[in-house]
């Protein structure tokens, strides 16, 4: 009888342990689901810790793969959703302090079938190791030429948003995904990793050697948020290709312009108008200091 009681006790103990293990697995699955839905911390790694004190000359952006020299304008053309698409990327001579760091202001315009669909201010800075950081974006959206608003605005240091790395100082294959930007307020999360190096890539403007390829994804937008981007040394982004989406955005560099002083001044005026609207439209942007001329 004593033996039967011992065996029964052993069976009950084993059952209790099994129930505990199942409960733990359920809690783990619940936690993982929360992370993927954007309700908790980002799922991609932070390749480098953001430190305001590590930016002694942040507006001098001379990273080999993403140099941002004021007056440089890159024009890329291709297709998005099956229709002609054009992006005009302009490095201005304006700066803005974001999250304690002075940034270079980028003016980015997207055209679909010749009509503006988005115009954006983006804020970049380079740290003392040579990493180029994303510190925020103010993207205005348009439809049929009419301004719809800027619901996807995010600024590092405000509303829980975090800066991320646009381009690493020493990109290497096999280093894993790194954070490019995170804003829980608008469910924005971008991640990237080095996919390949040393490629030769030809685009309409030129052929380039030693091209860096990054794989970029948005875990909160798995269907549409996966791209490959190609960066030529001394130039920057020369090609964008959608991954897993036949109707996704495909762009290639068609022209590089070095703006004259008068053309750069004209761009500056347009950007200042854009900021004026930003203060009226966006509560988040309203909490930032104004743009400054260099």
pLDDT in tens, 86-134: 999 999 999 999 999 999 999 999 999 999 999 999 999 999 999 999 9
* Shared domain check, 97 and 8: no
Q: Is 73 left (phi over 0), alpha (psi -120 to 50) or beta?
A: beta
* Shared domain check, 217 and 79: yes
Q: Which pLDDT value is given to residue 45?
A: 80
In whole angstroms, give the CA distance from residue 30 to residue 14.
25
CB 116 within 8 A of CB 145: yes
Q: Which pLDDT value is given to residue 22?
A: 36
CB 137 within 8 A of CB 33: no
CB 179 within 8 A of CB 46: yes
Residue 223 lies in a domain: yes
Closest CA to 44 of 192, 174, 187, 149: 192
Closest CA to 251 of 261, 263, 268, 238: 238
Q: How many domains does the chain have?
A: 2
Residue 153 lies in a domain: yes
Categorize the per-residue pLDDT at 42 as very low, low, confident or very high, splitting at 50, 70 and 90: low
List CB contacts of 60: < 8 A, sequence separation 6 or more.
126
* Shared domain check, 170 and 30: no
In whole angstroms, give the CA distance from residue 96 to residue 217.
27
Q: What b/e sequence results for 232-267 when a residue is b if at least 16 CB atoms lie within 10 Å of its CB, and e otherwise? A: beebbbbbbbbeeeeebbbbbbeeeeebeeeebeeb
Q: Higher pLDDT residue, 246 or 68?
A: 68
* Shared domain check, 118 and 15: no
Instruction: Give the percent of the chain with pLDDT over 70.
Output: 83
- The stretch 216-228 carries a mean pLDDT of 82
* Shared domain check, 224 and 86: yes
**Global confidence as pTM:** 0.84
Query: At residue 33, does pLDDT exceed 60?
Result: no
Q: Which pLDDT value is given to residue 44?
A: 84
Q: Which helix (H) or strand (E) holds 30?
A: helix 2-36
Q: Higher pLDDT residue, 226 or 155?
A: 155
Q: Which pLDDT value is given to residue 12?
A: 42
In whole angstroms, give the CA distance from residue 109 to residue 268.
14
Least confident of 1-5, 35-39, 124-128, 244-248: 35-39
At 25, list the tokens.
Answer: 């697995």
Residue 77 phi, psi dihedral angles, 5° rounding = -130, 155
* Shared domain check, 76 and 171: yes
* Shared domain check, 164 and 34: no
Query: At residue 176, does pLDDT exceed 50?
Result: yes
Residue 46 lies in a domain: no
Tally of CA atoms within 13 A in the half-sphere of 169 that contains its CB: 10
Residue 45 lies in a domain: no
* Shared domain check, 141 and 35: no
Helix, strand, coil percent values for the chain (each to nearest 5): 20, 45, 35
* Shared domain check, 128 and 187: yes
* Shared domain check, 70 and 24: no
In whole angstroms, give the CA distance from residue 146 to residue 113.
15
Q: Which helix (H) or strand (E) holds 17?
A: helix 2-36
Residue 47 lies in a domain: no
State the greatest distance between any 2 C-alpha atoms of the chain, in Å, as a whole number.
100
* Shared domain check, 226 and 189: yes
Least confident of 46-50, 141-145, 242-246, 252-256: 242-246
CB 75 within 8 A of CB 58: no
At 80, list the tokens.
Answer: 């998005």
Query: At residue 150, does pLDDT exceed 80?
Result: yes
* Shared domain check, 77 and 12: no
Domain of residue 11 covers 1-40
In whole angstroms, give the CA distance from residue 179 to residue 54.
18
Instruction: Give the percent of the chain with pLDDT over 90.
Output: 76
Query: At residue 85, does pLDDT exceed 50?
Result: yes
Q: Which pLDDT value is given to residue 98?
A: 98
Categorize the per-residue pLDDT at 222 as very low, low, confident or very high, splitting at 50, 70 and 90: low
């Amino acid at each position: 009888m004593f033996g039967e009681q011992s065996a029964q006790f052993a069976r009950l103990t084993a059952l209790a342990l099994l129930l505990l293990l199942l409960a733990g697995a359920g809690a783990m699955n619940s936690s993982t689901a929360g992370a993927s839905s954007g309700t908790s911390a980002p799922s991609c790694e932070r390749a480098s810790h953001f430190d305001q004190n590590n930016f002694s000359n942040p507006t001098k952006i001379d990273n080999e793969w993403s140099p941002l020299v004021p007056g440089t304008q890159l024009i890329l053309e291709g297709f998005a959703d099956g229709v002609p698409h054009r992006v005009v990327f302009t490095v201005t001579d304006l700066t803005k302090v974001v999250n304690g760091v002075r940034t270079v202001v980028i003016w980015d315009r997207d055209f679909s079938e010749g009509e503006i669909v988005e115009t954006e201010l983006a804020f970049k800075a380079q740290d003392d190791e040579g990493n180029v950081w994303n510190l925020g974006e103010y993207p205005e959206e348009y439809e049929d030429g009419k301004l719809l608003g800027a619901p996807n605005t995010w600024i590092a240091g405000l509303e829980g948003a975090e800066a991320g790395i646009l381009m690493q100082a020493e990109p290497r294959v096999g280093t894993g995904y790194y954070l490019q930007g995170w804003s829980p307020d608008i469910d924005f999360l971008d991640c990237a990793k080095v996919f390949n190096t040393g490629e030769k890539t030809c685009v309409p403007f030129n052929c380039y050697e030693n091209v860096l390829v990054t794989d970029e994804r948005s875990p909160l937008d798995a269907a549409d948020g996966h791209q490959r981007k190609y960066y030529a040394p001394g130039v920057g982004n020369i090609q964008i290709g959608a991954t897993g989406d036949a109707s996704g955005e495909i762009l290639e560099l068609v022209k590089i312009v070095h703006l004259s002083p008068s053309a750069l001044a004209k761009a500056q005026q347009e950007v200042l108008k854009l900021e004026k609207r930003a203060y009226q439209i966006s509560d988040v942007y309203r909490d930032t200091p104004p743009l400054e001329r260099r």
